[in-house]
Amino acid sequence: MTQDIHKLIEAYFDCTLSEQEEQQLKQMLATTTEDTADVREAKAVLGVFAMERKFSKGTPILHSALTFPSAADRWFSIQHSQILRYAAAAIAIFAIVFGGMKYAEYQNDNACVMFVNGEKISNENIVLAQMLGQMDDISEAAEYNDQTMSNQLDDMASVLE
């Protein structure tokens, strides 16, 4: 019996058992006292621990109440998980490529460009020098405005006195 159970377990994980052999394996697992690694693994996969308690008490178990994965269910599960892995890898690759394209586009849009008298200037040093010159002109105009406004207020104050 020990040799039979190990052969059936191996065949179960290879998905080569018939329905009758699978049922035989479930009953053998439920009643065996052997405690090897492959028997424990098969019991865990098949959920036989609950069945073992029912068999030891002599309580009959209805076949329709058992929910064990069949060979076809295990095959589908394996195929399904492989498809999910490929889909996840494809999504990750797409995200990396799309993110790289967007980053490159952002870098191109973040260029330093200025138009002076209809001429495009893209040299960063020239653009910065022009910008600083414009800011100096604005600052001088603001100072002149402050002085003019101050003079006008002084003139108004002298008239009122």
d(CA 128, CA 130): 5
For residue 121, give the DSSP letter.
Answer: E
Residue 71 has pLDDT above 70, yes or no: no
The whole-number pLDDT of residue 62 equals 44
Amino acid code (one letter) for 139: S
| 73-94 tens-digit pLDDT | 666 666 677 788 888 899 999 9
Residue 44 has pLDDT above 60, yes or no: yes
Burial (CB count within 10 angstroms: exposed 0-12, middle 13-18, buried 19+), residue 47:
middle
Residue 131 has pLDDT above 50, yes or no: yes
Identify which has the larger pLDDT, 142 or 50. Answer: 142
pTM: 0.32
Q: Which two tokens stand for residue 124?
A: 């960063």
Amino acid code (one letter) for 37: A
Q: Is 119 in a helix, a strand, or coil?
A: strand
